Structure 1
Amino acid sequence: MITFKELALEENILQAVEDLGFVNPTEIQEKAIPVLLSGEKDFIGLAQTGTGKTAAFGLPLLQLIDHNEKHPQALIICPTRELCMQIVKEMVNFKKYIKAVNVVAVYGGANIMMQIKDIRRGAQIIVATPGRLIDLIERKAINLEKIKYVVLDEADEMLNMGFQEDIEFILQNTPEREATWLFSATMPNEIRKVSKRYMQTPVEVTVGKINTTNKNIDHQYYVTSASNRYETLKRLIDFNPGIYGLIFTRTKVDAQNITEKLIREGYDVDALHGDLTQPQRDKVMGQFRDKALQLLIATDVAARGIDVKEITHVINYELPDDIEVYTHRSGRTGRAGSTGVCISIVHSRELYKLKQIEKISQAELNKMEIPSGKDVCRKQFYFYMDRLLNADITNEEYETYVPMLKEKFAEMSKEDILKRVAALEFDRFLNYYEHAEDLNIHKDDRSKNKKDFERGGKERKSDRRDFEGDTTRLFINLGTKDGFHKANFIQFILDISDLQKSSLGRIDMKEMNSWIEIDKKAANQMVRALDGKKFKGRKIRMNDADSVGPRRK
């Protein structure tokens, strides 16, 4: 693995990169930077969102422009205000030791006169959305005749948003450009046409396969009835305490309706859709970035260009019609080497879409059981206990109240105190989920839609209710609390036991432990391989399920 020092970048740029904690370039950076530093080649970079494309073009631009000339020399075009601001923020970090370079953001919804003043003060790099840039061109407030480098970032999203004519107009108004660099997650025919018309024998680099999804993302789907879709969404949110995510809907009406329902039930959420004014949109995005909101409900158009770090979950309230959109949605999580979860809530009639998504995106979609009410309460309870144990009690002011607390609770046992603490937090969950219905569609229910299911549904062997052959059940003291989901758990036990997936039946995972249905002939081999081994410092216990009591519901 190479380092940034091997990419022929100047020392002041390398120092800024080092200050940011970056040592090794991502794949797109490693392949793009040496080509772009020549400054004379058109370039097409195909890479998914979140792979470090801003540094891939931003670092070469800082090295290529003439720092002594104060007119615009480089133009970065992107689809949305949010992405525009994000690029400027990163470019400012990259130019930390190059004080003579100014980067100006140009986008709609902000004071155009202030943007004009910033450009006239002297700006070598302009980051712009197409509409506002054209407005400035028509006002003759910006001169693009000396632009040498044009970068089209998120080109596929710009075309999806109807900016093709705007992009062509901008390219026509940069007659002296020496290089055009195009970055995109996908390569639709419209982009290919633009590249043929305005680029000369571009160097093309593809990182991963086009339309494939990030391998750090766990793709899950839950099958329920259409009438239970909202209740399933709410249960999945409750089952993932600490979730920080995006929920995608098809329409702005759905986004608003779901938001209003969740707010009434006490969730920290808000909506992002086309009916919001720019100040309203800025306010919502600011709250979400600051994590004052736990969830953002958005339509695909409204979410274009959103770049928020540390998103743990993306939830498809409904599957998108366009499979490329699924890739864009899921790509909002699992960024910069972190892991993420993409959840889809589907009806059995939509299962054929999952097959198409798997085929084109090359992502394995794992069928999951919608958690029961007891599962939700248990998950919330463990999460609360962790918060309680990790609470910061270093503030000396607490000492003032300790004598009072001791006196108040002197005649109460520790157990009673703990019960009362739990009751304050959990009465709502316990009352709501005490008689919660099963939201899963089971085998008998699916038979009504057998034709649709056979067309596209893909139950994995590990999810089968009926296993062919003589089987037994094994217990293991590993579960979802250990960081496992069904797919990587299966891979884990198969890798250690050296067994084939065909020997497994149903896998039933819970918070603290799991049950494995397995061919009787293979059971002893698996027990010998795993029982007594250690996982993250904890001793694994595996044995016959009947020896540990009844199966947990």
Structure 2
Amino acid sequence: MDTPPFSELGLPAELLAAVEKLGFERPSPIQALAIPPALAGKDIFGLSQTGSGKTAAFTLPMLARLDLDLNRTQAMILCPTRELANQVCEDVHRLGSALGKLHAVPVYGGAPMDRQLRALRAGAHVVVGTPGRVLDHLRRGSLDPNLIKTIILDEADRMLDMGFRDEMEELLAALPPERQALFFSATMNRGVKSLIESFGNDPEIIQIEQKAKTVTSIDQCAYEVRQRSKVEVLSRLLDIEVSRLSIVFCNTKRTVDEATEALLARGYAVDRLHGDITQQMRERVLNRFRDGTIEVLVATDVAARGLDIDEIDLVVNYDLPQDPEDYVHRIGRTGRAGRSGRAVSFVFGRDVHRLETIERYTRSPIKRARVPSQEQVEGRLADRLFDDLKERLTEGRFDSYEAQVDRLLEQGFTPTDIASVLFTMLREEGGREFNQIQEDREEPGQRGPRRGGEPHKRKPQGGDRRERRERSSQHMDSSDMTPLFLSLGKQQGVKVGEIIGMLYNEAGLPQGSIGHVKLFDRNSRIDVAKDVADRVIEVCKGSTLRGKKFILDHDRGPQH
């Protein structure tokens, strides 16, 4: 639908200035329909999918109703997860940046209570939080509900699914009867309907008709992949796709851990997110994912709720979700803000029938595709290497090694030989070996070997693995790292990914503990977090890598 400009929705000048500064040209359909009645003080119920712009739809009218000279809580936003609460609170500050004295605070479990108490005592105009912790503050008396003008329930259906019904009802019952209620939900199920009937005041229902439940800019496909082949196929996809950020969804915490460790061992910039991760670590992981230090995030559905990052290019369903609606939520993480996106699902056996159910639910076809072959990945990486080399030559971005080249030419080597060897060395630097899998010999939907098919020869390949590691290490704070010496190097055939995987597995390190790894001929230099360095050295005593014993100690100086 064509929407009017923000200037015609009735917003005050300060909020229009913030919207213009953020680069929004026209409101989304949910914003155009929800903002005017919300500004008029009406209760509303917005049926809104992920990525539709609902945060601004409820935040802008909420901000317009605040009295910033009164340092008391006047608005409350309830969210299902800590991550969403943090993200919404950031959006409140961004959209209210021109208001000057706005004070909004995120409130959720797992964070220090004393810090939240200080923020509430200082006078927070807006409280954004999860139902459990917000109710805790209400019962303690640290949150005064008497002046709250607006209550917003973001993803109301998800909060009910997570078991927050009692907390939500107690919070809503404690608010002044004349307050405004804005309900937003992806579905109108029985629980949501009951909540609105009990606590809404004749809300205006706003629903945007969608012909398909998925974003049309998302390219969806499925690969028929056995469980034991998933890590290899995922690695090939990450190698062949040109993606800034990727998110991999698993159904269980155990699978998240196993997939993360396997990818770390192969040299990928990866981290995990699931219910057992501490809140401090969750926030650190999300920040590193947002700034690109981590390129691949492996997560469960609940842990990834509220993940609102526009730059995600690839979503992988490592495990197919049980619920078609979860599939919609997952792939909705990509293809945002006018960008194209790609969603890939791994299926096998009964999953194929579940995939057909998802297609019927979304009214969107999911094409079946052949697993990328080793040769395809190798070709794509070689093309990237060629393009990078051509760009550097064209722009003159290289150091002069004419003397070394002349020496090789004098010894009878041709320019073609020299260039070929250098290409090979670049490809092998930090590379990994492909694993042979059954899917290499099958067509999509075929369970047996392909007729006349032979196993592909294994070729070492690494492509731009080195670039990923270097980019990751550049984001590390070097003051928090200390160098360690490892008595194994290129001559022993060790790879950077093997060293990283061994250290994480042996010492059980928290993610982000390992920085840059430099391989020399007979040894290696590893940057690790200072607070775990001694533990790593102690735990690795007597360990082996590639069947070889090694010495790991603090780096005492040049030994290379």
Alignment CA distance shift 1:166-1:392 (3 Å): farther
Taking only the aligned residue pairs, the percentage that are identical comes to: 36
1:375-524 alignment, distance < 5 Å: 375-390=376-391, 401-402=399-400, 405-410=401-406, 411-412=408-409, 414-427=415-428, 432-433=433-434, 438-439=439-440, 441-442=442-443, 445-446=446-447
Moved more, 371-380 or 424-433: 424-433
Answering whether residue 313 of structure 2 is matched by residue 308 of structure 1, we say no
Task: Answer yes or no: is the 8 Å Cα contact 1:26–1:52 preserved in 2.
Answer: yes
One of 36, 39, 52 as aligned partner of 2:38: 36
Indicate the residue corresponding to 1:523 in structure 2. none
Between the aligned partners of 2:353 and 2:277, the Cα distance in structure 1 is 34
CA contact (8 A) 1:228 1:439 kept: no
Amino acid at match of 2:234: L
Q: Provide closer, same or farther for how the CA distance between residues 234 and 44 of structure 1 changes in structure 2, counting only shifts above 3 A.
A: same
TM-score (norm 1): 0.75
Distance 1:128 1:392 in 2: 53
What's the offset of the Cα at 1:446?
Answer: 4.7
1:62-106 deviation line (CA, Å, top 9, x unaligned): 111222222111111111222112112111121222113222221
Uncovered stretches (5+) of structure 2, i.e. residues with no partner: 452-560
Instruction: For 1:34, give the aligned amino acid.
Output: P
The equivalent of 1:262 in structure 2 is: 263
Cα pair distance change 1:47/1:443, threshold 3 Å: closer
Matching residue of 1:26: 28
Q: What is the distance in 1 between the residues matched to 2:114 and 2:431?
A: 57
**What's the CA shift string for 1:500-519, capped at 9, x where partnerless?**
xxxxxxxxxxxxxxxxxxxx
1:338-391 per-residue CA deviation (whole Å, 9 max, x = no partner) reads: 111111010143211111101111222111111111111111222333344456
Amino acid at match of 1:340: G
Deviations 1:428-449 (A, max 9, x none): 799834977643643783599x
Which of 2, 5, 10 is the aligned partner of 1:3?
A: 5
Change (3 A) 1:427 1:182: same
Displacement of 1:231 after TM fit?
A: 2.5
1:234 Cα deviation after fit? 2.3
What is the one-letter code of the residue matched to 2:402? Answer: K
CA contact (8 A) 1:47 1:184 kept: yes
RMSD of aligned residue pairs (Cα, Å): 2.7
State how far apart, in whole Å, the 1-side matches of 2:431 and 2:281 are: 36
Contact 2:135 2:167 in 1 (8 A): yes
The Cα of 1:417 is off from its aligned counterpart by 4.6
Change (3 A) 1:11 1:391: farther
Q: CA deviation at 1:257?
A: 0.9
The residue number in structure 1 matching 2:230 is: 229
| CA contact 1:211–1:327 (8 Å) conserved in 2 | no
Is the partner of 2:33 in helix, strand or coil? helix
Checking the alignment, whether the CA contact within 8 Å between 1:80 and 1:305 is kept in structure 2 is yes
1:245 matched to which residue of 2?
Answer: 246
Is 1:17 the counterpart of 2:13? The answer is no
Work out the CA distance in 1 between the residues paired with 2:102 and 2:292.
32
Q: Which residue of 1 aligns with 2:96?
A: 95
Q: Give the AA of the match of 1:63.
A: A
Once the 2 structures are TM-superposed, how far is the Cα of residue 274 of structure 1 from its aligned partner? 1.5
The aligned residue for residue 272 of structure 1 is 273
1:216–1:334 contact (8 Å) kept in structure 2:
yes
Counterpart of 1:345 in structure 2 is 346
The letter of the residue matching 1:56 is: A
State the 1:393 CA deviation.
10
- Whether the 8 Å contact between 1:150 and 1:177 is mirrored in structure 2 is no
Deviations, residues 265-312 of structure 1 (Å, cap 9, x unaligned): 211111111121112222222221221111111111221222222001
Query: What code does the residue aligned with 1:18 have?
Result: E
CA distance in 1, matches of 2:234, 2:387: 24
Q: Residues 233 and 198 (structure 1 numbering): CA distance in 2 closer, same or farther, change over 3 Å?
A: same
Determine the C-alpha separation between the residues in 2 that align with 1:416 and 1:334: 44
- Judged with a 3 Å threshold, the aligned counterparts in structure 2 of structure 1 residues 7 and 442 are, in CA distance, closer, same or farther, namely same
Contact 1:47 1:210 in 2 (8 A): no
Corresponding residue of 1:454: none
The number of aligned residues is 443
* Residue 178 of structure 1, CA deviation: 2.5
The amino acid across from 1:169 in the alignment is E
Q: Provide the residue aligned with 1:56 in structure 2.
A: 57
Question: In 2 relative to 1, CA 436–104 (structure 1 residues): closer, same or farther, beyond 3 Å?
Answer: closer
Letter in 1 for 2:405: F
Partner residue, 2:133: 132
Q: Which residue pairs with 1:78 in the alignment?
A: 79
Whether the 8 Å CA contact 2:249–2:318 is kept in 1: the answer is: yes
Question: SS of 1:305's equivalent?
Answer: coil
1:483 aligned residue: none
Q: Offset of 1:15 from its aligned partner?
A: 1.0
| Unaligned stretches of 5+ residues in structure 1 | 449-464, 466-553
The amino acid of 1:262's aligned partner reads L
Q: 1:242 to 1:100 in 2, by over 3 A?
A: closer
For 1:42 and 1:65, how far apart are their aligned partners in 2?
A: 16
**1:387–1:351 distance in 2 versus 1, CA, 3 Å:** same
* Cα separation, 2, equivalents of 1:4 and 1:193: 33
Taking the aligned partners of 1:46 and 1:392, their CA distance within structure 2 comes to 54
**Residue aligned with 1:302, SS:** helix
Check 1:418–1:207 CA distance in 2 against 1; reply closer, same or farther (3 A cut).
farther
2:133 is paired with a residue of what secondary structure?
helix
Which runs of 4 or more aligned residues in structure 1 lie more than 4 Å from their structure 2 counterparts after TM superposition?
389-395, 411-414, 428-431, 433-438
**Is structure 2 residue 148 aligned with structure 1 residue 152?**
no
Change (3 A) 1:335 1:109: same
1:374 is the counterpart of 2:370? no
**8 Å Cα contact 1:42/1:199 also seen in 2:** yes
Give the whole-Å Cα distance in 1 for the aligned partners of 2:393 and 2:142: 54
Aligned counterparts of 2:15 and 2:148: Cα–Cα separation in 1: 22
Q: 1:389 to 1:16 in 2, by over 3 A?
A: farther
Cα deviation digits, residues 19-77 of structure 1 (max 9, x gap): 111111111111111111101x1111112111211111111111112222221111111
Q: Distance in 2 between matches of 1:142 and 1:280?
A: 27
Secondary structure in structure 1 of the residue aligned to 2:342: strand
